[in-house]
A and B are shown apart, each in its own frame.
Chain A
């Protein structure tokens, strides 16, 4: 009952500020799905600079990162938003995995500790988002519970969602699998790394935020 009331109040407050100039656009997803690569692509396209560092070792982004006042122009329309890049959400973090990836034990333990805090922060920030892009690695199983839990929580909060199937430059990638897993949402297949289909992504961004 309390959570229902909380959602109701949030909804009213959100509607009150519906016409505010800058929306908060969150990038969510599992670790290594390519959230920061997409954030960098957006920032490079419209600000000419990167947002954060990327790595093959999971949990490279361990703190919430924000780029304010990004203005994008597309087919005569303009959109302003604050971009929020979040740490990947996971249900397990094992420092030994980081050691296997080549980190020293002390670095691995530190990274694991920071990563757990990052996951907690990402979930906390869900309430603050106006629109969320869920970035899914197109080569992986889309039925992972992390994706389903994120989508379910956004749905419960009435936050608009756009699903991005990333890494479509790779042979193993399948947009169809992701579409089948989330039939109620628009899915845009992109390669954030190589900029493939990013125009379609911007187009979808205008639709979802309007």
Chain B
């Protein structure tokens, strides 16, 4: 059975970067797929990869990560400035981040308009059908 756990940004907003990453990895290591409202900072994304690598073991094979953000490129300067100010104060709540255990999520495919989450189970089924 596939478990998706929604994590509101407010759940991690009061935590420091290390604790945010710790919290996310705790849930992922319970074999759940985290649907995080918004996104981590770029530095936090890199730190999440580093923290994942530190915890790789025979049981925990890593994560699959996908960040989806609806950034409109036609924003005027003043709107961009406003958005960046809000991001700085409240964190980035735009879009969504999917973080799943590599033992369950084989691949997160995306293009600007579509998200596909391929699980190991769906691949096995496909192979069986063949």
Residue ranges of A at the interface with B (Cβ–Cβ < 8 Å): 3, 89-95, 109, 112, 116-117, 119-120, 123-124, 126, 141, 143, 145-146, 148-149, 152-153, 155-156
How far apart are the CA atoms of A141 and B112 in the complex, in Å? 12
Whether the pair B54, A116 counts as a contact (CB closer than 8 A) is yes
Q: Please name all residues of chain A whose beta carbon is closer than 8 Å to the beta carbon of B52 when the two chains form the complex.
A: 91-92
Q: How far is the CB of B86 from chain A (nearest CB, A)?
A: 16
B24 within 8 A of A: no
Q: Please name all residues of chain A whose beta carbon is closer than 8 Å to the beta carbon of B66 when the two chains form the complex.
A: 145
How far apart are the CA atoms of A156 and B84 in the complex, in Å? 13
Q: How far is the CB of B117 from chain A (nearest CB, A)?
A: 13
Query: Is chain B's binding surface mostly helix, strand, loop or mixed?
Result: mixed
Whether the pair A112, B45 counts as a contact (CB closer than 8 A) is no
Whether the pair B56, A93 counts as a contact (CB closer than 8 A) is yes
Whether the pair B42, A93 counts as a contact (CB closer than 8 A) is no
Query: Taking CB as reference atom, which chain A residue is nearest B102?
Result: A92
Query: Is chain A's binding surface mostly helix, strand, loop or mixed?
Result: helix
A91-B102, A149-B42, A156-B43 known; A123+B49 contact, CB < 8 A: yes
Whether the pair A119, B67 counts as a contact (CB closer than 8 A) is no
B7 within 8 A of A: no
Q: Please name all residues of chain A whose beta carbon is closer than 8 Å to the beta carbon of B62 when the two chains form the complex.
A: 90-94
Whether the pair A123, B46 counts as a contact (CB closer than 8 A) is yes
B87 within 8 A of A: no
